[in-house]
Amino acid sequence: MTIDIMGGVLPLVSAIGPVLGGRVLFAVPTRSPRFVLTFDDGPDPATTPALLDVLRRRGARATFFLIGERASAHPELVARIAAEGHEIGNHTWRDEPTWRLGPDEFRDSLRATRRALEPHGPVRWFRPGSGWPTPDHLAIAEAEGLRCVLGSAVAISGAGAGTASTARRLNRVVRRGSVVVLHEGPQRAGVVATVDELLERTARRGLSAVTLSAAV
């Protein structure tokens, strides 16, 4: 796993995957020259349309992990995400640390978000808020037909949107099957430039960005 911290990229111990018994997807084993591009915390009028424009121009696809209350407030953006060939995932109802939620509250959050998203397409994936699930939450998500996805290259600087050096640093660590995590939304307009540059750099290396479901 690799995390971009304050403009730098820091390798982490890869032993955390087995702790969860392989139930959490960090990266996709593949020989295809593809990686997975994901965005958390949308949709938002400040960033989602511009992100979609960049993805279309670069011929890339992505998985958007959407906040339920934001999806409910901006269904037209969710519809555009799906219509342009991207994938939607469940990021719970509110932007909050998922691990703080009790089992019933967590289940209700997943289900409310699913109701907001499913009119726009199938939802297979779940990502917890603040980046870590509890074993109880994993069991609940699995019972709801969702698999938990974290990532192998996560931008932290710029509130998760990246800064001027993030794309260059991420490009150094993105490999076949990598799952890249970026954030969009208010105060995160920089994500658009980060994605544009990252896609340019990875394309030079023969790598293309795809959705999770296309990669697995």
User: CATH for 2-7+28-207, among 3.20.190.10, 3.10.450.40, 3.30.465.10, 3.20.20.370?
Assistant: 3.20.20.370
- Give, as one character, the DSSP assignment of residue 215: H
Domain ranges of the chain: 2-7+28-207
The predicted model scores a pTM of: 0.92
State the Cα angle at 190 between 2 and 100, rounded to 5°.
55
Q: What is the pLDDT of residue 2?
A: 46
For tokens 């479901």, what's the residue? 213
**Residues of the chain under the 70 pLDDT cut:** 1-21
* pLDDT the model gives residue 130: 84
Q: Is 95 a catalytic residue?
A: no
Active-site residue among 44, 91, 183, 196? Answer: 183
Please, which residues have CB within 8 angstroms of residue 11's CB and are 6 or more apart in sequence? 1, 2, 173
Q: Are 116 and 81 in contact (CB under 8 A)?
A: no
Q: Which residues pair with 10 in a beta bridge?
A: 3
pLDDT of residue 131: 76
pLDDT value at position 1?
47
Do you find a cis peptide bond into 45, omega within 30 degrees of 0? no
The string of pLDDT tens digits covering residues 115-158 is 999 999 999 999 999 878 899 999 999 999 999 999 999 999 99
Res 16: pLDDT? 52
Confirm whether 40 is a catalytic residue. Answer: yes
What are the residue ranges of helices labelled H in the chain? Answer: 16-19, 48-58, 68-73, 75-83, 103-117, 135-143, 166-173, 191-204, 212-215
Tens of pLDDT along 95-125? 999 999 999 999 999 999 999 999 999 999 9
Query: Rounded to the nearest 5°, which phi and psi values hold at 137?
Result: -65, -40
Question: How does strand 8-11 pair with strand 2-5?
Answer: antiparallel
Nearest in space to 82 (alpha carbons), one of 46, 42, 110:
42
Catalytic residue among 40, 41, 44, 196: 40
